[in-house]
Amino acid sequence: MTNILVFARLTLLEASRRKVLWALLGLAVLIIGLSFWGFARLPAVHAFGTSLSAANSHLVTAQLLGFVLFALSFVGALAMSFVAAPTIAGELESGVALSLLARPVRRSEVLLGKWLGLVSLAVGYVAIVGGAEIAAAETGTGYQVPDPVAAVALLAAQAVVLLSLALLLSTLFSPMAAGVVAVGLFGTAWVAGLVGDIGQSLRDSSVAAVGTVDHLLLPTDGLWNGVMNALDQTGLMNSFSDRLIGNPFFQTSGLTAAYLVWSAAWLVAVVACTYLRFCRVEL
């Protein structure tokens, strides 16, 4: 256990030295600052010569909050993918892994330590950035997010799923290729989920099945749907649910316990595959 914690700390230190991480964190701060300014001005916006009612203001706030959080989650996807991708592949290429594993250290300890360090980084990033964005929306407009804890927790779960995938890919490809593939799969999953939502709005079961399969193969978009449900559970939105079906920033139902169990099992399976692959890599 001690070795695992040591490798977790070293992974955090190494991640903090990467300029890409600080650049993306700076971008997140910029997005939060601009959105705080926008949310603060939203109650004073006039439409058709009159100011927005409180209900309409909250409706717009919930939708904008979802859009901004998606932008931040994409920024987080970039950060986690390109920080996690070189974790194993980079050390294999540079020969650092050989010097580490030549000592009485198990490969499982190295892998779990690195994974734990990356998870700590991802959860910390999401908790700070996601919490700040939700606070900006609530402070600027007075809109109370129905379940902010669930929203942040599911955003963090999405980040953990993606970094675990990037870690697996880092045992298969070069650092750059692993990062690109991870981000590409994240974007593909979102598009496939959107196609499934459109299928639901058109009442086409075959097209809607695309989203279902997508949520099972890569849970990132499914977890995102849970985030949106936690952000916009309002009576006003539910009254427009028929018109909003197919909108990626609106969800009428939360995640089921079965899907959460599946996501957890998927994560365990990916980490296990990463370990098996790491054990077979020649140093």
Residue with the two structure tokens 């980079």: 90
Measured distance CA(63)–CA(247) in Å, rounded: 10
> What pTM, to 2 d.p., does this model score?
0.85
**189-221, pLDDT tens digit by residue?**
988 888 887 777 777 788 888 888 888 899 998
Measured distance CA(52)–CA(60) in Å, rounded: 10
Cα distances from 278 to residues 7, 96, 196, 240, in angstroms, run 16, 14, 35, 50
Query: What is residue 171's DSSP assignment?
Result: T
Measured on CA atoms in the order 127, 129, 131, 134, is the torsion positive or negative? Answer: negative
**65-123, pLDDT tens digit by residue?**
888 888 888 877 777 787 887 777 666 666 565 566 656 677 778 888 889 988 988 88
Measured distance CA(239)–CA(82) in Å, rounded: 41
Q: Mean pLDDT, to the nearest integer, of 120-142? A: 86
**246-283, pLDDT tens digit by residue?**
556 666 667 889 999 999 999 999 999 998 888 777 65
Token pair of 263 as six digits? 């996501």
Higher pLDDT, 48 or 25: 25
Residues 6+ apart with CB under 8 A from 162: 77, 80, 81, 182, 186, 220
> Domain boundaries in the chain?
2-280
Token pair of 173 as six digits? 């490809």
Residues 6+ apart with CB under 8 A from 120: 8, 12
Residue with the two structure tokens 């692993």: 178
Residue 12, pLDDT above cutoff 90: no
* DSSP string covering 173-228: S-HHHHHHHHHHHHHHHHHHHHHHHHHHHTT-HHHHHHHHHHHHH-THHHHHHHHH
Residues 6+ apart with CB under 8 A from 225: 193, 215, 251, 255
